[in-house]
Structure formats: structure tokens, C-alpha cells
Amino acid sequence: MESSLKKVKCDSCVRLQLPPPEIASQGGEASLTYLKSVKKDSEANKRINLILIGNGEAGKTSVLEALRSKDGRAGKIDVDNRTIGIDLHRWEPEDADGLTFDVMDFGGQQIYAKTNQYFIVRRALYLLVWSVMPLSDIQTDTEVGTYVDKLKAMISTWLRAMQARVPGASVLLVATHIDLAEQLEVKDQCEEVRRCVEQELKKMSEEEDENILPLRVIREGASFTVDCLKGDGIKGLRDSVCMAAKGMLWWNETIPRPYLTLRKDVEQLAKTKPYTNAKHFLWMVNKAGVSTNEVKVVTSFLHDMGVIKYFGHDMKENQAQPDKGKYSIEDTIFIDPIWMIDVFKGVMRHDWQHLLNFFRQDPSKSKKTKKLLHLGIVDEDMFEYLWPQEGSDFWESTNNTLLSSGFTRTHLNVQQAVALLRGCDLAHFLAASETSDGETSEGKHKEWELLCPGIIPPFAHQHRLAVKESHSLCVHVECQYNIFPAG
Ligand SMILES: Nc1nc2c(ncn2[C@@H]2O[C@H](COP(=O)(O)OP(=O)(O)OP(=O)(O)O)[C@@H](O)[C@H]2O)c(=O)[nH]1
Ligand SMILES: [Mg+2]
């Protein structure tokens, strides 16, 4: 192959499976390296991601439980047991030729909408779950109309978000709670949803050019109707889910065996550690049998698969850390999604009132807290109040609120947490700090200021007021990615 192959042209080939898009986009050299690796020793991939999306209490967790259970039924789920962030599972359906699903069950509450998007990956089948409006809730025709309008808006948003992030994604619609409505009502609502999908697909095909793989909505948007508690419709759904997965471009994709070994090793490590550094990751790459010239290729491959998140530019053993020193994105490879969600919660789901109360007697910290809340700017000495810290007076005083904030860990390392926010484009160091490496010319410590827009929304009115009063709030932030965040 080496001697005879002169050129690999991957442009405009929307159904290209080998090399996969994340490798092809890196150019001829990376593509050739990948192809050589496949030729040397590869394996057909049987693992597909299955991602359950949809509004809160639509029945996502119940659909999954019913799909995985022998009798096709889910137990009743209590309101207190709603999904926090994302739940991860492995599902191996019977008699499915080795098909294995890595399942992500997304929490549907609005608070998670911003963060779930970071886990949308290409090699996934999406189950878009919605609930039929129960008959008991229907009072007037107007209420039904409002419900259906909201439902359609949710479905359009998801279809668009998916196509924007992972063009050509496969989606299957599931309607739950059919036991709580009349048959005719179920039929009508399903028809409304189907028409909404049809319109969305038509709009997309008019807007997009032919070099983008179109969204693949199974059964042209007709929903599978299920009763998760009794199990009605679950067997048919299970068969269709397996069939849809096997109809995906990524089913049986040939992947270099050392890459799959590395994936397994990383997943094993993620059970005990939320992240690792470049040195250790490179050691793992080597141990898995991936050659040194393939580091960039294998890293972007695992990033695209959602196994790791790496936002650096050029991974080296002794990272020179050209950008923000200790908060650098260059030296950390994130491997545990649950830890990542905890980091996101630190800026999006925090109990800010508790922080204000805690610093009532401390004018300096109180001022910094207000700056954080009103402007979304976090001073370096405030980082420790964003995420749980062992041995901290503040966090010890928030035992209850820690739970209500939904953190799963009692300690999160601030350096890596800030690095993740920066990698995901959720935080930026302000330009004023950009030229410094953490030390001023006199060797005095300089404090970083982190602009974190995710904090602002609930306080938007105060933010507007603050902006009115000052003209010095404009900031210019410029970012460059070689691996764009999968989210
Ligand atoms: N009657 C009936 N109840 C259902 C059905 N499916 C789910 N439920 C119930 O509806 C409620 C919400 O279901 P979940 O599976 O927790 O919904 P979810 O989409 O995972 O919710 P979040 O985790 O908050 O996003 C629970 O009380 C379930 O037991 C169904 O088909 N029929
Ligand atoms: Mg759930």
C-alpha cells in the first residue's frame, strides 16, 4: 500500500467510514497513518453509544430499564430518583451478534441542558423520548395545544442541536405513558410529532449542502409507543433499536486493535481516576502498542468517541505549558464524565446565596462574590468556592447544600476543573492576565481572573445594571482549537 498509494482524497465523501471523519479532517498524513494501522491489525467495532435524550420525566430511565429487563418492564421511579447529570450503563442485548451499547441516560431537567451537549458523540444512536400527555391532565383544547407546541419545540431543538454537532446522527423517537391517554389521543399526538420531524428534515435539507450527511430519523419520525410499566411495545422497540444500530455507518467499523486496547485501558483507569496527565497517557499509548507517530490520531479518535476529552494542541511528555501555567489544558486528559459533570455544576448549579451569606462579615470576599455573581468574573482565590474541597470551612458548612447542588464528589481538584472549563469554552482568562505566566516582573504573585459566562444568566438583570454603569466591561477573547470540543 505504501509504495503504490499516491493520494487519499476524502473531501465531499459524506459516507466515509474508513478513515473516520475526525481522522480524515486531519489530512493525508494522518489518514494514511490510520489506514496503515488498520491494515496491520484491526478489529470490527461492535460497540455503539446509545444516548437517551428528552425532557425531564419523559420516561428515559424507564425506557432503558424496560429495554434491559427480561420481562420488558420498568419499576415505578420515584420523583426523588430523577437522573442527576448523566447515568452510564453497559447493555448487551441477547442474540444481537455481539452488539454492545454504552448507554448514557441524560438527566432531562433544564439545568443539565447546557452540560449534556458536551457528551453528544458521533458514533451514537439517539433515543428521543417524549411523554404522551396524560388524559387526566387535559382540561381544555388550549392546554393540549400548548403542550403539543412545547413538545414540538423540544423535538425541533434536539434534532437541530444533534445535526449541528454530529451531522448524520441516527435518531429514533419513543412515546411513553401511552397507558394514561386514549388510543386516539396517542395517535393524534404521535402524528403531530411526526409532522414536526418531517418539517424539520425538509428545512434542514433546504439549508444544508450536499456535503453534509443528513440526519437519519428512523421510521421517518413515527414514534414507537410504549408503556414502560406494563412493557407494551418494548419488544418491538428493542428489536428496532438493535436493527437501527446495525444500520449505522459505525457498526462493524474496522478499528486498529491497539486503539481498542487503549480504549479499554482508559475506561479501566476512569474507574479510579477522573483524569490523567500527558506523561501517563503517553505511557498508556505505548503500552497499548500504538506507535509514537500516531499519538495525535489516536487522541482525536478517542476524543471523538467520547472516551476522553483532550483540548490541548500537541501532547508531549514534558509539557512546556505554553499557556496558563497550572491551569493549562495541554497536560490534562479528562476520562470520567461524572467528574466532568461535577465540574460543570460548580458554575451552573451552585448555591450562590450560601456563598453570599458565608462572606457577610468579610468585605473583600463579599465584594468578590458579588463580582462573580453579577459579572461572571471569578478571582483566583474564589476558585475553591466553586467546587467541594475537603477540609474547607465553607464546604463543611454546606453539607446539606452540597447534596442539593448535586455534586457526587466531596473534593474536586481546582486546577483540573478550571482547565476543563477552559477546554470546553465555558471559561476564559481575561485579557489582562494573558501576557503573564503567573508571576509579575517583580516576582510577585499575580491573580488570575476567570470570565465564566455560565454563571451570569440567573443574575442577568443585575448584570445589565452593572453594564449600564460601566463602559469598561467589554472583553475580547480569542480561542484556537485543533480538536474542537465534541460538545
Ligand atoms: N404510567 C406510566 N408511567 C411511566 C411510564 N414511563 C415512565 N413512567 C413514570 O414517569 C416518571 C418519570 O419517568 P423517568 O423514567 O424517571 O423519566 P426521565 O425521563 O428519566 O426523567 P429525568 O431523569 O428527570 O430526566 C416515573 O415516575 C416513571 O415511573 C409509562 O409508560 N407509563
Ligand atoms: Mg432519568
Q: Is pLDDT at 62 greater than 90 in this prediction?
A: yes
Whole-number Å distance between alpha carbons of 468 and 146: 37
In short, whether 324's Cβ falls inside 6 Å of ligand 1 is: no
pLDDT digits (tens, 9 = 90+) for 280-336: 999 999 999 998 888 988 998 899 888 999 998 877 766 555 555 778 888 899 999
Q: Is pLDDT at 95 greater than 50 in this prediction?
A: yes
325 CA distance to ligand 1 middle (Å): 46
Q: Which residues contact 404 (CB under 8 A, 6 or more apart)?
A: 351
Whole-number Å distance between alpha carbons of 418 and 427: 8
In short, whether 332's Cβ falls inside 6 Å of ligand 1 is: no
In short, whether 229's Cβ falls inside 6 Å of ligand 1 is: yes
Q: Which residues contact 231 (CB under 8 A, 6 or more apart)?
A: 66, 71, 72, 73
DSSP for 144-193 reads HHHHHHHHHHHHHHHHHHHHHHSTT-EEEEEEE-GGGS-HHHHHHHHHHH
Confidence of residue 139 (pLDDT cuts 50, 70, 90): low
Q: Is pLDDT at 442 greater than 50 in this prediction?
A: no
Q: At what angle do helices 28-40 and 295-305 cross, to 10 degrees?
A: 80
Cell numbers placing 42: 484491526
In short, whether 113's Cβ falls inside 6 Å of ligand 1 is: no
What are the residues facing 331 on neighbouring strands?
Answer: none
Q: Which residues contact 327 (CB under 8 A, 6 or more apart)?
A: 415, 418, 419, 422, 429, 448
Q: Is pLDDT at 350 greater than 70 in this prediction?
A: no
In short, whether 56's Cβ falls inside 6 Å of ligand 1 is: yes
Q: What is the best residue among 62, 79, 87 to mutate for testing ligand 1's pocket, by most ligand atoms within 8 Å of CB?
A: 62
Q: Which amino acid is at 210?
A: E
Whole-number Å distance between alpha carbons of 381 and 403: 24
In this structure, the number of other CB atoms found within 10 A of the CB of residue 148 comes to 16
In short, whether 58's Cβ falls inside 6 Å of ligand 1 is: yes
In short, whether 179's Cβ falls inside 6 Å of ligand 1 is: yes
Name which of 108-117, 232-241, 458-467 the model is least confident about.
458-467
pLDDT at position 111: 67
Q: Is pLDDT at 32 greater than 90 in this prediction?
A: no
Confidence of residue 438 (pLDDT cuts 50, 70, 90): very low
Give 189 or 481, the one with higher predicted confidence.
189
In short, whether 75's Cβ falls inside 6 Å of ligand 1 is: no
Any idea which residue has 430523577 for its cell? 82
Mean predicted lDDT score pLDDT of the chain = 83
Give 7 or 396, the one with higher predicted confidence.
396
DSSP for 79-141 reads GGGPPPSEEEEEE--TTSTT-EEEEEEE--SGGGHHHHGGG--SSEEEEEEEEPPPGGG--SH
pLDDT at position 22: 79
Q: Is pLDDT at 5 greater than 70 in this prediction?
A: no
Mean pLDDT of all residues in 148-168: 87
Q: Which residues contact 305 (CB under 8 A, 6 or more apart)?
A: 121, 122, 123, 263
153 CA distance to ligand 2 middle (Å): 20
Q: Which residues contact 311 (CB under 8 A, 6 or more apart)?
A: 329, 419, 422, 423, 424, 481, 483, 485
Confidence of residue 158 (pLDDT cuts 50, 70, 90): confident
Q: Which residues contact 126 (CB under 8 A, 6 or more apart)?
A: 51, 52, 53, 162, 169, 170, 171, 172
- Any idea which ligand is nearest the CA of 78? 1
Confidence of residue 172 (pLDDT cuts 50, 70, 90): very high
**Alpha helices per DSSP H over 216-358:** 234-246, 257-270, 278-287, 295-305, 337-348, 352-358
192 CA distance to ligand 1 middle (Å): 21
Mean pLDDT of all residues in 242-255: 93
Mean pLDDT of all residues in 465-481: 50
pLDDT digits (tens, 9 = 90+) for 175-187: 999 999 999 989 9
Provide the sign of the torsion angle of the four alpha carbons 261, 263, 268, 272, taken in this order: positive
Query: By the 8 A CB rule, do 298 and 37 touch?
Result: no
Name which of 67-81, 217-231, 392-406 the model is least confident about.
392-406
Give 455 or 17, the one with higher predicted confidence.
17
Q: Is pLDDT at 44 greater than 50 in this prediction?
A: yes
What are the residues facing 172 on neighbouring strands?
Answer: 127
Name which of 44-58, 150-164, 276-290 the model is least confident about.
150-164
Q: Which amino acid is at 135?
A: L
H or E segment and range at residue 42: strand 42-44
Report the Cα 317 to chain-centroid distance in Å: 28
Confidence of residue 435 (pLDDT cuts 50, 70, 90): very low
Domains, the chain, ordered by start: 47-246 (3.40.50.300), 337-469 (no CATH)
Q: Is pLDDT at 14 greater than 80 in this prediction?
A: no
- Any idea which ligand is nearest the CA of 59? 1
**SS3 (DSSP) at 326:** helix
Confidence of residue 160 (pLDDT cuts 50, 70, 90): confident
Cell numbers placing 57: 420525566
Query: For the chain, how many residues are written?
Result: 487
Q: Which residues contact 260 (CB under 8 A, 6 or more apart)?
A: 43, 45
Neighbours of ion ligand 2 (CB under 5 A): 60-61, 83
In short, whether 416's Cβ falls inside 6 Å of ligand 1 is: no
pLDDT at position 325: 72
Atom of ligand 1 nearest to the CA of 74: 29
pLDDT at position 284: 96
Confidence of residue 231 (pLDDT cuts 50, 70, 90): very high
Q: Is pLDDT at 142 greater than 80 in this prediction?
A: no
Query: Is there a cis peptide before residue 458, judged by omega within 30 degrees of 0?
Result: no
130 CA distance to ligand 1 middle (Å): 10
